[in-house]
Structure 1
Amino acid sequence: MKKLLPTSTAGSLPKPSWLAQPEKLWSPWKLEGDQLIEGKQDALRVSLQEQSVAGIDIVSDGEQSRQHFVTTFIEHLEGVDFEKRETVKIRDRYDASVPTVVGPVVRKKPVFVEDAKFLRQQTDQPIKWALPGPMTMIDTLYDNHYKSREKLAWEFAKILNQEALELEAAGVDIIQFDEPAFNVFFDEVNEWGIATLERAIEGLKCETAVHICYGYGIQANTDWKKTLGSEWRQYEEAFPKLQKSSIDIISLECHNSHVPMDLLKLIRGKKVMVGAIDVANHQIETPEEVADTLRKALQFVDADKLYPCTNCGMAPLPRSVARGKLNALTAGAAIVRNELLK
């Protein structure tokens, strides 16, 4: 029998201090060459162990093989110059120095497929692998070649599809596309954002997910959130079209956010990864707080379609905090699972 309310994480877990500087995004690797490959595999094992001990049902690599959730994928492609950097405004929020697209973007070799095979060898549990979504990829680059956000997004969608098909063949059960940009560029989302995402999942038989959040707990994001008022209704813009899309699971941020739960009605019928853990603070939730978020979501999501999850990745958090939050997630899900099975 399939487990009710299977738990998972939205993405990253903190990296061990011997691999990269902890509590920092974009932290450079401390190892290189073969040592780096081995170090990432060791970190993946540790991350998997943390998830197993906490009782997480759908496990991941904790993104130990990604330095950053977007650029690590882009680094492996041709047509992007990392030496040639420009400053752009990311997600309309903060300036960042980013690489430049200088020619046609091409994926000459798999990016994460070996890592995914390694993860598959380590566990019998369902595994989830995260890739950046097309719209979020173009938002993290300066385009000096296509001169069109839409054109570049379609190119990336093709490349992501190649990678996704190989990840599926490597034994990945759920492929998740991270699209925080869906909460910002509403016209583009509906004009071509969801369509490019559909292109990225073309031909896949495994389950697919899209993760749309309000970002890591970094200052630029917390400052932005303060400007959003008492109700965050951004999801309202993308949900109706996502509900009609062929994406299986929608992963979103709920705990400690001002997202009105009734917006979940707009994706009725889809599986929903409900973020019941806040990743923007060091406060460890109580199991009861987690349970409370899940109960609210259950008013609008069928129990067999609800997947308790974290709001976003936990890379910037101390490891002890991330561990505590994982434990809270599984304990809170267990409370509600028992209530449902009574």
Structure 2
Amino acid sequence: MKTSVIGYPRVGALRELKFASEKFFKGEIAAEELQRIGATLRAAHWKLQQESGIDWIPSNDFSYYDGLLDTASLFNVIPKRYRALGLGPLETYFAMARGYQGKQGDVKALAMKKWFNTNYHYMEPEIEDTADIRLEGTKLFDEYAEAKRLGIATKPVLIGAFTLLKLAKYTGAKKAEDFADHVADAYSAVLDKLNALGAAWLQLDEPALVTDLTTEDIALFSKLYSRILSAKGNVKVLAQTYFGDVRDVYPTLQALPFDGIGLDFVEGKRSLDLVRQYGFPDGKVLFAGVINGKNIWKNDYPRTLGLIREIGGHAQQIMIGPSCSLLHVPYTLAHEKKLPAEKKRFLAFAEEKLRELSELKAIAEHADPHASPLYTENEKLFSGPRFTNDEAVQARATALTEADFRRLLAFAEREAIQKAKFNLPPLPTTTIGSFPQTADVRANRSSFKKGAITEEQYKQFNFGKIEECIERQEEIGLDVLVHGEYERNDMVEYFGESLDGFIFTENAWVQSYGTRCVKPPIIWGDIRRAKPITVEYSAYAKRLTDKPVKGMLTGPVTILNWSFPREDISLKDSALQIALAIRDEVLDLEANGIDIIQIDEAALREKLPLRQSDWHREYLSWAIPAFRLTHSGVQAGTQIHTHMCYSQFSDIIREIDDMDADVITFEASRSDLSIIESIQACGFRTEVGPGVYDIHSPRIPSVEELKQALKRMLESINPAKLWVNPDCGLKTRGENETWASLRNLVQAAKEARNEL
């Protein structure tokens, strides 16, 4: 038995790549310096895995922005509008990722979507009818050779042909099948070059195989790989799957001449049953994902060794590894100086998971695992309690009835009451909540955490920023204002810090997209609200203006999905506990005069099962009610907003309507406003604000561009139900671009009103 890693985090244990990339974007460092830092990180990651005893170490899992964007670039899948800029390769790459506005032109970024059921975002490749798909880039080969020069034999990693075609957007008349031969030839060219370089393995990631597949999908997969694998030569090819099981295609995988098949035995509910039912082909290697690559709890060795033994009864050759890339967990516990030792001993980040793989391999070599101290220490760890329980919280959740999940008045009645109460103009303008977290904001928070300033000084600074924010929003003419969220480090971590039941890290950063990293809280016990969280700042902002001010909260499903959940209770139980805590905050805001309250559910779709048959039974049956629980106790005149971003919502649009919010804002600009067709088709009752511009790009949209977006929306959406807003919070943007964009947004809305 050997060990293999699917992929490793890439931004650096202390976010070195993030900071270098941002300096490059600002023109503070040259491309050569960015690339030097990238090479340093790659070398460090390879050496760490080598020293940890990993047998097969990945290369080309590193990226300056996104792996699927790397794959598209490798195969010359670059839309014409980016080529027309006439930029260099790296600048063109970043233009696709972030958009471009400068001397060479003005283009939006590619659409950004969630990577299956994770909080990682990928850039959606666009394949035009005239696309010339061929092997063009060299990154995969350069990084393989780079590792080889360091004395490290790696397994190059590449997103597979089927997943590439399934996740791409087709902008013309042609579809995936029309490009299959060209794509297969491009992958065959990769194998030709790897043969020349002497590579032993190529890992082709095919997570799309764990989704619901049609007979046409399976035929496309077979067609692609029948052609690709005929060119493999001496290179062994691994079909690596993760995030679920391959029930629709397992016999096909067995029949094709892959040398290895990677199966997820953590999230793959039927993976073990498939191996039991169909066996595993002799001569192939089973890459078994037995350690959770998405959660941070230490592995239970006795349970995992039992699983490995059973798998070994069906497969002659086994490689053990994580269930997916370790991209989805933090780097290392080494930089966590404040976490108590009694809690750290239960945790395993990416570096610690490498050690777990080596330890499992070593224990498995013993005839009697109990002879290994590694085994007995682990067994002892799991024999005692670790999570903290709160009987009052459990009793409150148990006592919930159906009435607790529904508002008393129906939506239409509430809508009429709110229209009369707020008397907003047609196409009311607002923002999603956060304003730029400038250097002085971050410095104030850091000084307070370090004890360098008092709590009073910290708050007075924030009150001053709120005054500035309200004044500027009034100046440009926004209709519904926000306080700016200057006190918040992160939309989930901030709430977790104010709730009992969470623990926090100092440097457990996880990449969300590009240079954006998050630090998910860890749910350690039952959750309750100990005291009001947002009331003081929201009430202060309310006193500064005669315009409506939104209270800003994060919803229970998003808090849960963007935290590392405990393993001893269900996700449903955790969600209801969080929902009750947020409900208390909602009612306190209302009692303090905040009569518009936004409860963000940005991550609602994130944990939606990848197979549609599991959607309601395993997820929507509790996720939608958990949101309703947060606001069901408010008065009819209190307007409840929510926000969702960067996921495909069309297929659950009716369930979203059933959240019973009064206003829902969606990310829409990067997805070309596709959500509006679904809103129209299902008779959506909730008022909506599809985002009119992309805040994840530094470009400033013109008034005319924004008016065109509104015009498209008004073709499908009743103007009485349409709000005007950016597509997400403005926390990551610069001050100048933020206010310039919002001025244009307000002007576009005014002109659109006049044309109604």
Q: Identify the TM-score tier after normalising by the shorter chain.
A: 0.7 to 0.9
CA contact under 8 A between 1:58 and 1:128: conserved in structure 2? yes
C-alpha displacement at 1:16, in angstroms?
Answer: 4.1
Residues in 1 aligned to 2:696 and 2:440: alpha-carbon distance in whole angstroms:
24
Give yes or no for the alignment of 1:295 onto 2:711: yes
- Matched with 2:640 is 208
- Matched with 1:67 is 489
- Matched with 2:662 is 248
- Matched with 1:178 is 600
Q: Aligned AA for 1:281?
A: S
Q: The residue matched to 1:307 in structure 2 has which SS?
A: coil
Structure 1, gaps ≥5 residues long? 22-26, 215-231
Q: How is 1:1-342 mapped onto 2 (pairs within 5 angstroms)?
A: 2-20=424-442, 29-31=446-448, 32=453, 33-83=455-505, 97-144=519-566, 146-186=568-608, 187=615, 190-205=620-635, 206-214=638-646, 234-260=648-674, 261-265=676-680, 266=682, 268-340=684-756
C-alpha displacement at 1:145, in angstroms?
Answer: 6.4
Residues in 2 aligned to 1:308 and 1:125: alpha-carbon distance in whole angstroms:
16
1:37/1:304 Cα in 2 relative to 1: closer, same or farther (>3 Å)?
same
C-alpha displacement at 1:12, in angstroms?
Answer: 0.8
C-alpha displacement at 1:114, in angstroms?
Answer: 1.0
C-alpha displacement at 1:83, in angstroms?
Answer: 4.7
Q: The residue matched to 1:254 in structure 2 has which SS?
A: coil
TM-score, length of structure 2 as denominator length: 0.40
CA contact under 8 A between 1:88 and 1:142: conserved in structure 2? no
C-alpha displacement at 1:7, in angstroms?
Answer: 0.2
Q: Aligned AA for 1:20?
A: R
1:292/1:111 Cα in 2 relative to 1: closer, same or farther (>3 Å)?
same
C-alpha displacement at 1:146, in angstroms?
Answer: 4.9
What is the root-mean-square deviation of aligned Cα atoms in Å? 2.4
- Matched with 1:223 is none
CA contact under 8 A between 1:47 and 1:61: conserved in structure 2? yes
C-alpha displacement at 1:210, in angstroms?
Answer: 1.5
Once the two structures are aligned, what percentage of the paired residues are identical? 26
- Please give the per-residue CA displacement for 1:126-158, whole angstroms capped at 9, x wherever unaligned: 111221111110122223365322111110001
- Please give the per-residue CA displacement for 1:37-83, whole angstroms capped at 9, x wherever unaligned: 11111111111122111111000011122221111111011121225
Residues in 2 aligned to 1:237 and 1:327: alpha-carbon distance in whole angstroms:
34
Q: The residue matched to 1:78 in structure 2 has which SS?
A: strand
C-alpha displacement at 1:170, in angstroms?
Answer: 1.4
Q: The residue matched to 2:459 in structure 1 has which SS?
A: helix
Q: The residue matched to 1:41 in structure 2 has which SS?
A: helix
C-alpha displacement at 1:189, in angstroms?
Answer: 5.2
C-alpha displacement at 1:89, in angstroms?
Answer: 8.4
Residues in 2 aligned to 1:84 and 1:12: alpha-carbon distance in whole angstroms:
23
Structure 2, gaps ≥5 residues long? 1-422, 609-614
C-alpha displacement at 1:334, in angstroms?
Answer: 0.8
C-alpha displacement at 1:255, in angstroms?
Answer: 2.1
CA contact under 8 A between 2:654 and 2:684: conserved in structure 1? no
Residues in 1 aligned to 2:696 and 2:512: alpha-carbon distance in whole angstroms:
19
CA contact under 8 A between 1:6 and 1:307: conserved in structure 2? yes
1:38/1:313 Cα in 2 relative to 1: closer, same or farther (>3 Å)?
same
Q: Aligned AA for 1:264?
A: I
- Matched with 2:59 is none
C-alpha displacement at 1:100, in angstroms?
Answer: 2.2
Moved over 4 A (4+): 83-91, 94-97
C-alpha displacement at 1:87, in angstroms?
Answer: 7.5
C-alpha displacement at 1:99, in angstroms?
Answer: 2.9
Structure 1 window deviating more from structure 2 (62-71 vs 181-190): it is: 181-190
1:8/1:204 Cα in 2 relative to 1: closer, same or farther (>3 Å)?
same
Residues in 2 aligned to 1:325 and 1:62: alpha-carbon distance in whole angstroms:
16
Structure 1 window deviating more from structure 2 (255-264 vs 122-131): it is: 255-264
C-alpha displacement at 1:270, in angstroms?
Answer: 1.4
> Larger Cα Rg: Structure 1 or Structure 2?
2
C-alpha displacement at 1:329, in angstroms?
Answer: 0.7
1:127/1:189 Cα in 2 relative to 1: closer, same or farther (>3 Å)?
farther
Q: Which has the higher contact order (CA 8 A, sep 6+)?
A: 1
1:146/1:167 Cα in 2 relative to 1: closer, same or farther (>3 Å)?
farther
Q: The residue matched to 1:39 in structure 2 has which SS?
A: helix
Structure 1 window deviating more from structure 2 (236-245 vs 101-110): it is: 236-245
CA contact under 8 A between 2:627 and 2:659: conserved in structure 1? no
Structure 1 window deviating more from structure 2 (290-299 vs 321-330): it is: 290-299
CA contact under 8 A between 1:6 and 1:58: conserved in structure 2? yes
Q: Aligned AA for 2:574?
A: L
Q: The residue matched to 1:125 in structure 2 has which SS?
A: coil
